[in-house]
């Protein structure tokens, strides 16, 4: 892995997330091919594309759920996937990843709430055991967040008693409780019944408009992506085929593949 030519640190005005020549392979299959992607601070980016195009992998690598095969990822100016050791960049060890991960939070397609804890306990768990907050502080923060997502009255319910939309909103609150700089949303409405998708999108919308947060979303909700994104990236076969502001990408796509995809998706809904 040729990480000799990469800087140890990015300058202060750099993007908050940078993928530099990132490649990911599963055996023979190349899922992401030398990806270069910059995300600016407080930018809201949507990633769209057909399945298998590598969209979810981008998020999973940023959340350190997957290793990368080549290239390097920077978060907040510092390398994420690599660390400086004796003057060279080497693959990061667990301790280093533990320190860097605090910048990133993720909401999953299948919620992944802890079934044996109530909503508020789900939110309090990591702040207490990872950030070292006192029970009181964690409770205050969690209650605030659950109120923000509209679930103050469901604080003491277990996930099994909540609808899919409610569970996903708890999951958002839980991720926010760690005060990450970058929030990742991995197809968060794909597993929801149509009637509850709206309540989740509302929460995400208010996050985008009322809070300063960098957001990276993989989604099939084209209308929503168009509405709140600063930039949309269309992925095709492991590469960014096209990216740009939503007005441009959705109305005047430059790439034929983009047009084909948008046609197929928009006519199906």
Task: Show contacts of 253-258: CB within 8 Å, 24+ apart.
Answer: 258/234
Residues 146-205 binding other proteins (CB under 8 A) are 158-160, 171, 174-175, 178
Residue 39 sits at φ, ψ, to 5 deg, of -120, 125
- CA 36, CA 18: separation in Å to the nearest integer? 7
Main-chain phi, psi angles of 199, to 5 degrees: -65, -35
Separation of alpha carbons 76 and 133, rounded Å? 24
Nearer to other proteins, 37 or 175 (CB): 175
> Should residue 88 be labelled a site residue for other proteins when binding is judged by CB under 8 A?
no
Residue of 1, 65, 90, 266 interacting with other proteins (CB under 8 A): 65
| Under 8 Å between Cβ of 207 and 213 | yes
User: Measuring CA to CA, which residue among 260, 269, 267, 268 is closest to residue 50?
Assistant: 260
The CB-of-81 to other proteins minimum distance in angstroms stands at 15
| Binding status of residue 262 toward other proteins by CB under 8 A | no
Contact between 26 and other proteins per CB under 8 A: no
- 161: which DSSP letter? G
Q: Which is closer to other proteins, CB of 204 or CB of 232?
A: 204
Site for other proteins in 96-135 (CB under 8 A): 98, 101-102, 104-106, 108, 110-118, 125-126, 129-130
Q: DSSP secondary structure string, 92-130?
A: --HHHHHHHGGGEEEE-TT----TTS-HHHHHHHHIIII
Nearer to other proteins, 67 or 263 (CB): 67
Please give the size of the binding site for other proteins, defined by CB under 8 A: 30
Choose between 130 and 264: whose C-beta lies nearer to other proteins: 130
Residue 64 touching other proteins (CB under 8 A): yes
**Using CB under 8 A as the criterion, which residues of the chain lie in contact with other proteins when the complex forms?**
63-65, 98, 101-102, 104-106, 108, 110-118, 125-126, 129-130, 158-160, 171, 174-175, 178
């Amino acid at each position: 892995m040729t990480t000799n030519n990469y800087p140890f640190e990015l300058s202060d005005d750099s993007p908050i997330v940078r993928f530099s020549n990132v490649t990911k392979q599963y055996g023979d299959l190349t899922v992401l091919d030398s990806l270069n992607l910059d995300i600016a601070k407080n930018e809201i980016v949507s990633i769209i594309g057909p399945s298998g195009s590598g969209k979810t992998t981008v998020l999973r690598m940023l959340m350190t759920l997957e290793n990368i095969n080549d290239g390097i990822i920077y978060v907040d100016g510092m390398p994420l996937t690599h660390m400086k050791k004796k003057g060279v960049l080497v693959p990061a060890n667990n301790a280093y990843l533990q320190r860097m991960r605090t910048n990133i939070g993720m909401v999953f397609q299948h919620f992944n709430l802890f079934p044996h804890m109530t909503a508020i306990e789900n939110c309090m768990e990591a702040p207490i055991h990872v950030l070292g907050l006192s029970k009181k502080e964690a409770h205050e923060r969690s209650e605030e967040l659950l109120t923000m997502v509209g679930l103050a009255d469901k604080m003491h319910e277990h996930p099994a008693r909540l609808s899919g939309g409610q569970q996903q909103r708890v999951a958002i609150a839980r991720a926010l409780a760690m005060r990450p700089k970058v929030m990742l949303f991995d197809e968060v409405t794909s597993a929801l019944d149509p009637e509850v998708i709206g309540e989740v999108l509302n929460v995400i919308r208010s996050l985008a408009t009322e809070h300063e947060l960098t957001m990276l979303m993989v989604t099939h909700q084209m209308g929503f992506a168009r509405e709140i994104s600063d930039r949309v990236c269309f992925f095709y076969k492991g590469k960014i085929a096209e990216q740009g502001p939503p007005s441009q990408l959705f109305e005047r796509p430059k790439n034929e593949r983009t047009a084909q995809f948008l046609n197929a998706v928009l006519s199906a809904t």
